[in-house]
Chain A
Amino acid sequence: MEVLLCVSDLATYFETEGKTVCAVDGVSFEIKRGETLGLVGESGCGKSVTALSIIRLIPTPPGKIVRGSVLFDGEDLLKLKESAMRRIRGNKISIIFQEPMTSLNPVFRVGHQIAEAAVLHRKISWNEAKELTVEMLARVEIPAPKERYYDYPHQMSGGMKQRAIIAMALICNPSLLIADEPTTALDVTIGAQILRLLRDLQSQLKMAILFITHDLGVVAEMAHRVAVMYAGKIVETADTLTLFERPLHPYTRALLASVPHLGKKTKRLFVIPGEVPDPLRFPSGCRFHPRCSSASDICRSRLPELRQYEDSHYVSCFNISSEAKEIPR
């Protein structure tokens, strides 16, 4: 399959009170057409900043993309003028955020806000855009879409708003959808509905999804491939089945062991000692070494690179067990 998005060595820093926060520090990954890449990690690891950097929504100052490239359809988004970028955002690349309550403007009708995207990008009349919006609202399974077009955001429930936001994101038929924790703020049963909807829409519209979440269960259900982030870096990428069955990085292994599995009750949960490091003071060497049980001297002094182990399995660790053979380049 053809590569749609290729991020290489992306780094975004924030300047605060004379200190530099390396929120994203040399991140590389690819997304193929129609594929879902799950980006997992704990809060503060740089997942959302990565997403915002791709569509250049980093508030500058204090933030700045200091290096790297983001090739989308062969074009480097980081080199585009703002006006050209604006034609891509909401059109070829759309984003949906975690908080459905704050993503809609409370003083405009929901239908109007969705139609606006189509009017701006597709150069169609408001009447045509309205028809398209009603069709889109029906597609995201909002009952009585014609009437709902005239609703204000406060008249909708959380799940309903998230559906409307999905409709807005998809109205221009984007080739890449960035979903930043789209179900985290929702209840379990409503979250399950939204995940189902996204999966169905993806197979209909053949779009690629960058799915950002902290929930390993959601990744397992949604993603074709997974990238695990820790302290501003990707520590492991693999296809979903491999990552869950044969994780190689100690952080991925520990993370998987520390969540309670439904129907597999254990006496005690596995615990990763310590805390997520402060981005102002990242540890030297491998950023996971203070919490890692197999850390050695080299881990404390040198930063491991992402190296290939199997076909599409990349890990950045010095101590991969001997049975996993590194593929020489």
Chain B
Amino acid sequence: MNFLEEKDALCKKEEPLLEVVNLKTYFPIKSGVFRRTVGYLKAVDDVSFTIAAGETLGLVGESGCGKSTTARSILRLVEPTDGKIFFKGTDVRALKESQLRSLRRHMQIIFQDPYSSLNPRMTVASIVGEGLRIHEKLPWREIRERIAFLLDEVGLSPHHINRYPHEFSGGQRQRIGIARALALNPSLLICDEPVSALDVSIRAQIINLLTDLKERHNFAYLFISHDLSVVEHIADRVAVMYLGKIVEIASSTELYNHPSHPYTVSLLDAIPLPDPKRRRNVTPLKGQVPTLAHLPSGCRFHPRCERKRPICETHQPPLTEVSPSHSVLCHSPIS
């Protein structure tokens, strides 16, 4: 329990809160009568990034690109195959199960689906208070006070405390999920598509809530989304994933104003803008997203890329720096 606090004191100021180095998470593909492993599904393949304390990193990409697996690997909800994860300098992959449990109170996760992520048989009090009961070992009266305070903080009324999840709307359930994540005062919140399942008018409420909470508590967020306009609104830095790899990572302003990777450009062009005057006539990206089980050779984006050169079909591009805060995985980045 205490090793983290010791680490905290030792932790140098400039050291990032979370450091992910060459993370790989593969799932075996089994086939035949004997369930032999015939190959690997490379969901996360050599991903590296850092998140500083109080910073928001947006992770964007289309479905199946490995965003959620990256998040789950960091928490070791799925076991990574290779690579290193440092949280406040602690090597997460080296921890034992019991140490891991006490580490997870500092890293919490909010899920996409507010319907399936809350246990329908538990009251709001037991959902939000479970972490406090396990980790803080406080008397029940104090826990109830804390819960009432947390509900107030996420914009729910304290008299909701004895209700069950089915009595709430989607937006309110997402607030309960946020209160549960906040309960132990974490330093990193992983938000896995927290607003994708919500209606437009409710989405704005939750986005503003997340922004307010960050200002109040100085959390760091890993904000996963497929919606680039939401990410632009909330993130300081943005990483774009395609088929298990981060293809571009840059500060938010840099990425949205000067995208370097052809995939980022197409992704930005593909968003329908709520402004008929800015109706653009760009050619949409051709082809389908290949499956992770049958990855293309060389650069994984080359079958859909308009800037493809012979080298792209044979060699994987290296991560090159465009500017100090902007790296891209491409043989011929757009300058």
* Complex: chain A residue closest to B201, CB-CB: A272
Are A196 and B274 touching (Cβ within 8 A)? no
Q: Which candidate, B3-11, B79-87, B158-166, B282-290, is the interface stretch facing chain A?
A: B282-290
Tell which of A219, A260, A263, A268 has the most Cβ of chain B within 10 Å. A260
Set of chain A residues within 8 Å of B226, measured between Cβ atoms:
187-188
* Complex: chain B residue closest to A156, CB-CB: B288
Map CB proximity to A onto B196-224 as digits: 1 under 8 Å, 0 otherwise: 00011111110110010000000000000
Binding site for B on A (CB under 8 A): 42-43, 157, 159-160, 187-193, 195-196, 214-222, 240-241, 244-245, 254-256, 258-263, 265-266, 268-272, 275-276
**Contacts A220-B279, A254-B201 given; does A263 touch B256 at CB 8 Å:** yes
**Contacts A220-B275, A262-B271 given; does A193 touch B285 at CB 8 Å:** yes
| Chain A nearest CB, measured from B68 CB (Å) | 14
Are B229 and A259 touching (Cβ within 8 A)? yes
21 A-B residue pairs with CB within 8 Å? A160-B288, A187-B63, A188-B228, A189-B266, A189-B267, A190-B288, A190-B289, A216-B200, A217-B271, A220-B272, A220-B273, A220-B279, A221-B273, A241-B276, A244-B277, A256-B274, A258-B201, A262-B232, A262-B273, A275-B171, A276-B169
Set of chain A residues within 8 Å of B276, measured between Cβ atoms:
220-221, 240-241, 244
* Complex CA distance for A189 and B63, rounded to whole angstroms: 11
Are B201 and A192 touching (Cβ within 8 A)? no
Are A188 and B232 touching (Cβ within 8 A)? no
| Chain B nearest CB, measured from A156 CB (Å) | 10
* Complex CA distance for A219 and B272, rounded to whole angstroms: 8
* Complex: chain B residue closest to A266, CB-CB: B233
B334 at the A/B interface (Cβ < 8 Å)?
no
Set of chain B residues within 8 Å of A269, measured between Cβ atoms:
204, 207-208, 233
Are A258 and B204 touching (Cβ within 8 A)? yes
B94 at the A/B interface (Cβ < 8 Å)?
no
Top 5 A-B pairs ranked by shortest CB distance?
Answer: A217-B272, A192-B270, A258-B204, A216-B274, A192-B284
* Complex CA distance for A159 and B289, rounded to whole angstroms: 10
| Chain A nearest CB, measured from B178 CB (Å) | 16
Binding site for A on B (CB under 8 A): 62-63, 169, 171-172, 199-205, 207-208, 211, 226, 228-230, 232-233, 256, 266-277, 279, 284-286, 288-289
Set of chain B residues within 8 Å of A259, measured between Cβ atoms:
200, 203-204, 229, 274
Are B229 and A261 touching (Cβ within 8 A)? yes
Set of chain B residues within 8 Å of A255, measured between Cβ atoms:
200-201
* Complex CA distance for A42 and B201, rounded to whole angstroms: 8
Are B275 and A244 touching (Cβ within 8 A)? yes
> B274 contacts which of A189, A193, A217, A272 (Cβ < 8 Å)?
A217
Are A275 and B62 touching (Cβ within 8 A)? no
| Chain B nearest CB, measured from A142 CB (Å) | 11
Set of chain B residues within 8 Å of A187, measured between Cβ atoms:
62-63, 226, 289
* Complex CA distance for A275 and B174, rounded to whole angstroms: 13
> B201 contacts which of A218, A219, A276 (Cβ < 8 Å)?
A276
With contacts A245-B277, A261-B273 known, what are 16 further pairs, Cβ within 8 A?
A42-B199, A42-B201, A192-B270, A192-B272, A195-B272, A216-B274, A220-B273, A220-B274, A255-B201, A259-B229, A260-B230, A262-B228, A262-B229, A262-B271, A269-B233, A276-B199
* Complex CA distance for A245 and B274, rounded to whole angstroms: 11
* Complex: chain B residue closest to A45, CB-CB: B199
**Contacts A220-B274, A261-B274 given; does A214 touch B199 at CB 8 Å:** yes
* Complex: chain A residue closest to B205, CB-CB: A271
| Chain A nearest CB, measured from B199 CB (Å) | 4
* Complex CA distance for A272 and B277, rounded to whole angstroms: 25
Set of chain B residues within 8 Å of A254, measured between Cβ atoms:
201
| Chain B nearest CB, measured from A287 CB (Å) | 14
| Chain B nearest CB, measured from A225 CB (Å) | 11
| Chain A nearest CB, measured from B63 CB (Å) | 6
* Complex CA distance for A191 and B228, rounded to whole angstroms: 14
* Complex: chain B residue closest to A274, CB-CB: B201
Are B208 and A193 touching (Cβ within 8 A)? no
* Complex: chain B residue closest to A141, CB-CB: B286
Are A42 and B200 touching (Cβ within 8 A)? yes
* Complex CA distance for A254 and B203, rounded to whole angstroms: 13
Set of chain B residues within 8 Å of A192, measured between Cβ atoms:
269-272, 284-285
Set of chain A residues within 8 Å of B256, measured between Cβ atoms:
262-263
* Complex CA distance for A190 and B269, rounded to whole angstroms: 12
Are B275 and A189 touching (Cβ within 8 A)? no
* Complex CA distance for A43 and B201, rounded to whole angstroms: 11
Set of chain B residues within 8 Å of A191, measured between Cβ atoms:
270, 272
* Complex: chain A residue closest to B289, CB-CB: A187
Are A188 and B199 touching (Cβ within 8 A)? no
* Complex CA distance for A327 and B24, rounded to whole angstroms: 65
* Complex CA distance for A263 and B270, rounded to whole angstroms: 14
* Complex: chain A residue closest to B234, CB-CB: A260
Set of chain B residues within 8 Å of A271, measured between Cβ atoms:
201, 204-205, 208
| Chain B nearest CB, measured from A160 CB (Å) | 7
Are A241 and B289 touching (Cβ within 8 A)? no
* Complex: chain A residue closest to B282, CB-CB: A192
* Complex: chain B residue closest to A257, CB-CB: B204
* Complex CA distance for A130 and B253, rounded to whole angstroms: 52
Set of chain A residues within 8 Å of B273, measured between Cβ atoms:
217, 220-221, 261-262
Are A221 and B279 touching (Cβ within 8 A)? yes
Are A244 and B274 touching (Cβ within 8 A)? yes
* Complex CA distance for A241 and B199, rounded to whole angstroms: 23
* Complex: chain B residue closest to A197, CB-CB: B284
Set of chain A residues within 8 Å of B208, measured between Cβ atoms:
268-269, 271
Are A189 and B270 touching (Cβ within 8 A)? yes
> B275 contacts which of A43, A195, A258, A261 (Cβ < 8 Å)?
A261
Are B204 and A188 touching (Cβ within 8 A)? no
Set of chain B residues within 8 Å of A193, measured between Cβ atoms:
284-286
* Complex: chain B residue closest to A263, CB-CB: B256
* Complex CA distance for A202 and B274, rounded to whole angstroms: 21
* Complex CA distance for A124 and B233, rounded to whole angstroms: 55
| Chain A nearest CB, measured from B300 CB (Å) | 14
Set of chain A residues within 8 Å of B63, measured between Cβ atoms:
187
